[in-house]
Structure 1
Amino acid sequence: MRLRLAPDNTNFDFFKHRKLTFGGSCVAMVLSVVVWLMMGLNFGIDFKGGTTIRTESVQVVDVGAYRAALDPLDLGDVTITQVFDPTFGADQNVAMIRIQSQDGQESVGADLVVAVGEALKTVDPTITFPSVESVGPKVSGELIMTALLAVGVSLAAILFYIWLRFEWQFSVGAVFALFHDVILTVGIFSLLQIRFDLATIAALLTIIGYSINDTVVIFDRLRENLIKFRKRDLQDVMNLSVNETLSRTLMTSGTTLLALIALLILGGDVIRGFVFAITWGVVVGTYSSVFVAKNVVLMLGVNRDDKPADKGNQFADIEA
């Protein structure tokens, strides 16, 4: 028996409440920017600067015990990650402890590093500290600029690819939907003050890739239907295209969310921000593919008179 998340031959009118769906998305984008400007982002050590301490011990690393030992020191943002490597011996247990800059200093002071060492020795007397490295504000600023550049270049490349693959109206709609996804994700991180670090940037790039994949599937079906139903109203053809791909959209998003929710609940504190960003991005990315991208294309319009009978434009036969 085949599982169906949506019945065959659905005929939902996705434009019926477009003032609410598309207009609500635009309002949400504006509010996200306002929240971002007013509350700012809770930058992690990667962007604020701080110190990374590498520990090594004979006993198995207990992240919870390490964190409990460091809590009385009131160090602010502390990330503890166990390091796994097949080259390590059975008695070689390594962890990375990242501590944010204290009171505007470039790194954690030597006295505080000593205090951290003493606190951890109460948990594991065999612990040693092979290396202590600091990230100053200059490096953090470079990381912020590199992260912004990575997101910007990816959006520009997608804009160019969608233009080649379809039409310029499609590329504008797709990139607007991606901006929608990124801005709403940054907005929710600012509102909830979830730690924003390089892992979150990786999550944003993952969201962009996931969302554009879903949008391209709908656009590809739309292009086929625009050739097949030349005289049919553009809005009706768009509705038909979304309905025809609805089962695939729900199945892909649903199975992805199953894995992400499991990681969100069971994955632990280290990856929770990363997983939350992708989970949120899958939801808003699916929404934007259905309710945002096609509304932009509808407003811009598509010239259907100059299309040959077998392809959308001169670049349409490029393999995805």
Structure 2
Amino acid sequence: MRFKKELDFVHLSKYFYIFSIALTVAGLIFLATFGLNYSVDFKAGSNVDISLSKNLNLDQVKTATSAIDVDHEPTISFGDQRVNIRYDEVLDEAQDEALKAEILKLDDKASFEINTVDTEMAKELARNAIYAVLISCLGIIIYVSIRFEWRFAVASIVALLHDAFIVVALFSIFRLEVDLTFIVAVLTIIGYSINDTIVIFDRIRENLRFGKQKTYEDLKHLVNKSVAQTLMRSLYTAFTVFIAAFFLLLFGGESIKMFSLAMVIGLLFGAYSSIFIASPLWLVLKKREKVKVKSSPNKG
């Protein structure tokens, strides 16, 4: 009866596992079918960012871009007195000048920023982004294994990979653009996720030292107690960063919009994965050891 008064985070985790698995499967299907909507940072092409002194409509911009002979229609997006035109092929100098001339007919005060990525550079950027995530995960495994134990390391890596993949999956499902700032956001999310998880794991380790856990129920009680003791600290930290990221999403510039959105999504999932994914997973890994302890003969 002593366990009835506390919130059973371990029991609730079953529902979050189902939700996360369903979302992961959906993400895998979308990634396998449609892939990611890469920006020009990760695929060959030209990205033309135009600052205007007035707003233009879609028909005006389409008329301007039609003056350039290209194989595929460009993607056009608008901001406040800004237009972004993305081409799937690299524009040559003559095409650059022709596009500028057409836009200047509509707004003689327009300024241009043209970024070009060739095929090899795009592949290298994508490859380096994957390496960055993998190396960071490897470093975390080594650190947590040394400071705690391998079960904590496995649980923390599963949780942070869960957070990172959910963000990637949602960007794939909703066809949101993935650029270099998105990679920065994913790495930042990994940092916040492991921070929240380590706080809970540190409390679990501390409570392990001062308690006697002979059964699975004892361990379950310890995990619930440890999560409850660190819950508000974790929520306050996540909420503080979430508010900053949310207002960056609302009021920040177009160039950091995807970064802010990825941070908002990642912080929400990171907050709950530390509580409902990492800690219960450690309990599952620890359960077999406690069963062995229970079945061994008493000494003395």
The normalised TM-score by structure 2 is 0.81
Matched, 1:21 2:16: yes
**Across the two proteins, how many residue pairs are aligned to each other?**
274
Matched, 1:12 2:11: no
CA RMSD of superposed structures (Å): 2.9
C-alpha contact 2:47 2:87 (8 A) present in aligned 1: no
Q: 1:128 to 1:295 in 2, by over 3 A?
A: closer
Matched, 1:142 2:124: yes
Deviation at 1:140, TM superposition (A): 0.2
Matched, 1:171 2:153: yes
Match of 2:95 among 99, 105, 112: 112
- Give secondary structure in 1 for the equivalent of 2:22: helix
Q: 1:65 to 1:248 in 2, by over 3 A?
A: same
Match of 2:259 among 259, 274, 298: 274
Give, in whole Å, the separation in 1 of the partners of 2:240 and 2:55: 35
Give, in whole Å, the separation in 1 of the partners of 2:85 and 2:95: 10
Deviation at 1:133, TM superposition (A): 5.4
* Letter aligned with residue 215 of structure 1: T
- Give secondary structure in 2 for the equivalent of 1:134: strand
* Letter aligned with residue 225 of structure 1: N
Give, in whole Å, the separation in 1 of the partners of 2:229 and 2:187: 28
Give, in whole Å, the separation in 2 of the partners of 1:64 and 1:124: 7
Runs of 4+, deviation exceeding 4 Å: 52-55, 66-69, 77-82, 126-129
Who is 1:46 aligned against?
41
Who is 2:74 aligned against?
75
Who is 2:28 aligned against?
33
Who is 1:297 aligned against?
282
Q: 1:138 to 1:99 in 2, by over 3 A?
A: farther
Give, in whole Å, the separation in 2 of the partners of 1:161 and 1:290: 20
Give, in whole Å, the separation in 2 of the partners of 1:236 and 1:101: 57
Deviation at 1:225, TM superposition (A): 0.5
Who is 2:177 aligned against?
195
- Give secondary structure in 1 for the equivalent of 2:41: helix
Deviation at 1:75, TM superposition (A): 2.2
Matched, 1:251 2:236: yes
C-alpha contact 2:152 2:201 (8 A) present in aligned 1: yes
Superposition pairs of residues 77-226 of structure 1, within 5 angstroms = 99-102=85-88, 105=89, 107-125=90-108, 134-226=116-208
C-alpha contact 1:33 1:183 (8 A) present in aligned 2: no
C-alpha contact 2:16 2:276 (8 A) present in aligned 1: yes
Question: Which consecutive unaligned segments of at least 5 residues does structure 2 have?
Answer: 66-72, 291-300
- Give secondary structure in 2 for the equivalent of 1:46: coil
C-alpha contact 1:29 1:183 (8 A) present in aligned 2: yes
The percent identity for this pair of structures is 33
Give, in whole Å, the separation in 1 of the partners of 2:147 and 2:57: 51
C-alpha contact 1:44 1:77 (8 A) present in aligned 2: no
The normalised TM-score by structure 1 is 0.76
Give, in whole Å, the separation in 2 of the partners of 1:23 and 1:287: 13
C-alpha contact 2:53 2:110 (8 A) present in aligned 1: no
Deviation at 1:269, TM superposition (A): 2.6
Matched, 1:261 2:240: no
After superposition, the C-alpha distances for 1:266-311 in whole angstroms (9 at most, x for unaligned) are 114322111000000000001110011112211111758xxxxxxx
Question: Which consecutive unaligned segments of at least 5 residues does structure 1 have?
Answer: 1-9, 56-60, 83-94, 305-320
Give, in whole Å, the separation in 2 of the partners of 1:267 and 1:45: 21
